[in-house]
């Protein structure tokens, strides 16, 4: 017996329709010769009303003796004249038992007792069965889908760059080292260098949605050691062009989820507010002055601390850009302003106190790129494969990277990035 229907369908199909539902036994209540079984699948729940007379003594005993979370398939007819508050039930002709769950369960699926996050992550396969958790991932799926659609509409080509690399993207210590036969290699921290090479290759507009690895020691509620980076790079474009694209992508994604995840948003008790475009552009210097006026001691050239972002986030609660960053806060590949090279054509997209994206126009001038590299203490020799792409015709270009989990946190109002990651990798956890 294979699945034909999802539980959600029985509320729309006509009375007496034949259906086959498959899923997990969420609950069984036996009242004499009748049993009410709640079957759960990806799309919701259905009441299966089992009558001893029609199903037979032995089958009735078997069904009513099932442990919760066992897997079954039910072939039967929809009955709309039901007492069930769900509005429809299924009267089974046949119930096939496909997998019997052991007891006790490592954690409950619908029980209202709160279980701490660590325990939930230990038994993530059970935790993910909870409807509100599933809803988070259905939303994440549609965020990815909507971004893909928008980028495809805008003429972007999907690419796949290597995740095993020989040199660090930006130098630094945030790399996971691994043995690559007789050499040392690293897991990539960003596709940055490769997506730029693709501009030299003439692909013009590329995107990649793929994992990025950061060997950062910190264990915060918004950092993972493996996250999904949504990257784009675009030729003949400056930072303004890619900021426009970014806000349109975010706008489209919010609308897409609002329109296509109605049930999930209801399950999570959330409403998505569609922001107005364009998002405010706030200059680094102005925000620096603002945080200093609010009693935070921050010097020019420093990045905003979490306290500083907290203060800014109280004033700017929605989406906004921070633009015109000092070059010393940014990577070597950022393009400095012609009129004031102290500043780079870089931006971050923020939501309140949280950073979701950083981007920039890139420096496509071989000599000055190399110079900036040296200024940052990097050895251009180690970046030959990258720098060569700038020597034989490189168009001006710009791009950005959205942290998929960070954006999902905002749409699902999640306080911890682990909530929006199926199997998070953090300082302590590499299992499950």
Query: Would you please indicate which residues are annotated as catalytic (active-site) residues?
Result: 214, 216, 222-223, 355, 358, 406
Minimum distance of ligand ATP from residue 306's CB (angstroms): 10
- Edge to edge, the sheet with strand 164-165 lists 164-165, 183-187, 177-180
Chain positions 376 to 405 lying near ligand ATP, rule: CB under 6 A, are: 401-403, 405
* 130 part of the interface to ligand ATP, by CB under 6 A: no
State which of residues 227, 251, 316, 320 lies at the interface with ligand ATP (CB under 6 A).
227
Q: Per-residue DSSP letters for 58-108?
A: HHHHHHHTPPTT-EEEEEEEEE-S-S-TTS-EEEEEEEEEEEPPPSS-SS-
Q: Between 67 and 306, whose beta carbon lies closer to ligand ATP?
A: 306
Contact stretch for ligand ATP (CB under 6 A) within 33-41, 111-119, 260-268, 355-363: 355-363
* 239 part of the interface to ligand ATP, by CB under 6 A: no
CA dist 257 and 125 (Å) reads: 25
Contact stretch for ligand ATP (CB under 6 A) within 177-185, 224-232, 246-254, 305-313: 224-232
* 50 part of the interface to ligand ATP, by CB under 6 A: no
* 408 part of the interface to ligand ATP, by CB under 6 A: no
- Are 95 and 72 in contact by the 8 Å Cβ rule? The answer is yes
* 358 part of the interface to ligand ATP, by CB under 6 A: yes
* 357 part of the interface to ligand ATP, by CB under 6 A: yes
CA dist 317 and 61 (Å) reads: 57
Residue in the shown chain whose Cβ atom is closest to ligand ATP: 403
Q: Between 60 and 332, whose beta carbon lies closer to ligand ATP?
A: 332
Contact stretch for ligand ATP (CB under 6 A) within 216-224, 232-240, 289-297, 388-396: 216-224
At how many degrees (to 10) do helices 239-260 and 404-412 cross? 50
* 229 part of the interface to ligand ATP, by CB under 6 A: yes
Rg over CA atoms, the chain: 27
Collapsed DSSP state (helix, strand, coil) of residue 33:
coil
Sequence-separated (6 or more) residues with CB below 8 Å from residue 314: 353
Give the end-to-end CA distance of the chain in Å, rounded to a whole number. Answer: 31
Minimum distance of ligand ATP from residue 214's CB (angstroms): 4
389-403 as b/e: b if 16+ CB within 10 A = bbeeebebbbbbbbb
CA dist 232 and 216 (Å) reads: 23
Minimum distance of ligand ATP from residue 417's CB (angstroms): 6
* 362 part of the interface to ligand ATP, by CB under 6 A: no
Interaction site with ligand ATP (CB under 6 A): 214, 216, 223-224, 227, 229, 355-358, 401-403, 405-406
């Amino acid at each position: 017996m294979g699945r034909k229907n999802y539980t959600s369908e029985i509320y729309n199909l006509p009375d007496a329709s034949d259906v086959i539902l498959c899923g997990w036994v969420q609950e069984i209540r036996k009242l004499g010769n009748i049993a009410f079984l709640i079957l759960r699948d990806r799309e919701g729940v259905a009441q299966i009303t089992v009558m001893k007379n029609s199903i037979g003594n032995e089958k009735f005993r078997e069904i009513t003796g099932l442990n919760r979370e066992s897997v079954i398939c039910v072939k039967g007819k929809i009955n709309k004249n039901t007492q069930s508050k769900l509005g429809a039930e299924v009267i089974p002709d046949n119930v096939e038992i496909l997998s019997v769950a052991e007891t006790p369960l490592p954690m409950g699926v619908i029980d209202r007792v709160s279980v701490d996050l660590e325990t939930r992550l230990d038994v993530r396969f059970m935790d993910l069965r909870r409807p509100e958790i599933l809803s988070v991932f259905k939303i994440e799926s549609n965020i990815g889908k909507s971004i893909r659609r928008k980028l495809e509409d805008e003429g972007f080509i999907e690419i796949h760059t290597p995740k095993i690399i020989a040199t660090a993207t930006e130098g630094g210590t945030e790399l996971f080292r691994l043995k690559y036969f007789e050499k040392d290699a690293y897991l990539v921290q960003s596709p940055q260098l490769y997506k730029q090479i693709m501009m030299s290759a003439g692909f013009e507009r590329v995107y990649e949605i793929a994992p990025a690895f950061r060997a950062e020691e910190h264990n915060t509620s918004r950092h993972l050691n493996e996250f999904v980076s949504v990257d784009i790079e675009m030729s003949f474009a400056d930072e303004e062009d890619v900021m426009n694209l970014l806000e349109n992508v975010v706008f489209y994604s919010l609308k897409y989820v609002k329109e296509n995840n109605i049930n999930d948003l209801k399950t999570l008790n959330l409403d998505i507010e569609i922001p107005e475009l364009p998002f405010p552009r706030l200059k680094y210097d102005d925000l620096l002055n603002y945080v200093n006026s609010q009693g935070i001691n921050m010097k020019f050239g420093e990045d905003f601390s979490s306290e500083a972002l907290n203060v800014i986030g109280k004033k700017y609660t929605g989406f906004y850009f921070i633009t015109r960053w000092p070059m010393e806060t940014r990577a070597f590949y950022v393009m400095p302003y012609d009129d004031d090279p102290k500043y780079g054509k870089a931006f971050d997209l923020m939501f309140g106190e949280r950073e979701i994206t950083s981007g920039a126009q890139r420096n496509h001038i071989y000599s000055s790129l190399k110079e900036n590299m040296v200024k940052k203490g990097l050895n251009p020799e180690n970046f030959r494969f990258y720098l060569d792409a700038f020597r034989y015709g490189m168009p001006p270009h710009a791009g950005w990277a959205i942290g998929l989990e960070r954006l999902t946190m905002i749409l699902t109002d999640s306080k911890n990035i682990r909530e929006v990651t199926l199997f998070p990798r953090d300082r302590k956890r590499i299992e499950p």
